[in-house]
Structures are given as C-alpha cells and as structure tokens.
Amino acid sequence: AQSVTQLDSHVSVSEGTPVLLRCNYSSSYSPSLFWYVQHPNKGLQLLLKYTSAATLVKGINGFEAEFKKSETSFHLTKPSAHMSDAAEYFCVVRALNAGNMLTFGGGTRLMVKP
C-alpha cells in the first residue's frame, strides 16, 4: 500500500520569507509524485511533478521540490512567499503497484501574512 503524509496541516509565513511544505510518502515501487495547489472553491492546479528524471523539480510560480529517496520525502519550497500563494497544497503519489491510482495527502493550508 502507498501513503502520503503532509507533516503540517497549517503553515504561516510572512510575505517575502521562504516557504517549506513537508511531504513524506511510502511506496514499494518507484513512484511519481506531484504537488497541487487549490484556491478556495476552485479545482486543483498542478504545481510540479517528479517522474524519475531529475530529483530537483521546478514548477510554476517559483515553486520547486526535491525528491529524496533515502528520506522518502518530497518537500515543496519557494524562496520568497507572495500573498497570492495563500492556498491549500496537496502532495500526491502515484505508483504502478497501487493500481496506478493516486493517493492524496491531507493537505497543508499556507497562510501568508503581510
């Protein structure tokens, strides 16, 4: 079975400071990993994906994530937060041994203070 744990349900940062959203996964097969963002009453938008190529993945809006197999982590970072980054973020894993289905983390709500 595969699982995803987002270690913080809420993260609060000041505008202009770095963002770190933590994600740990378990999967007995080489997984694909994704980060999505959801603004209120909207669908999920793909930020970035890891699919066994480069371990440091760059996404949209200045976000990036690093796949660390030894730590089974896929943390999302951004050097400088903007007010528009305030949203819910989901880490997602997908693997063949799980029937190719996606498993979602519980989400992290990012708040950005002016």
Partner 1 sequence: DGGITQSPKYLFRKEGQNVTLSCEQNLNHDAMYWYRQDPGQGLRLIYYSQIVNDFQKGDIAEGYSVSREKKESFPLTVTSAQKNPTAFYLCASSIGQTNSPLHFGNGTRLTVT
Please give the residue ranges that form the binding site for partner 1 (CB under 8 A).
Answer: 9, 32, 34, 36, 41-46, 49, 51-52, 90, 94-96, 100-102, 104-107
Distance CA 85, CA 38 (A): 10
Q: How far is the CB of 105 from partner 1 (least distance, A)?
A: 6
Work out the widest C-alpha separation in the chain, in whole angstroms: 44
Distance CA 111, CA 59 (A): 20
| Contact status, residue 49 vs residue 94, Cβ threshold 8 Å | no
Residue 15 or 44: the one with the smaller Cβ distance to partner 1 is: 44
Distance CA 39, CA 65 (A): 20
Residue 36 or 74: the one with the smaller Cβ distance to partner 1 is: 36
Residue 81 or 95: the one with the smaller Cβ distance to partner 1 is: 95
Q: How far is the CB of 114 from partner 1 (least distance, A)?
A: 24
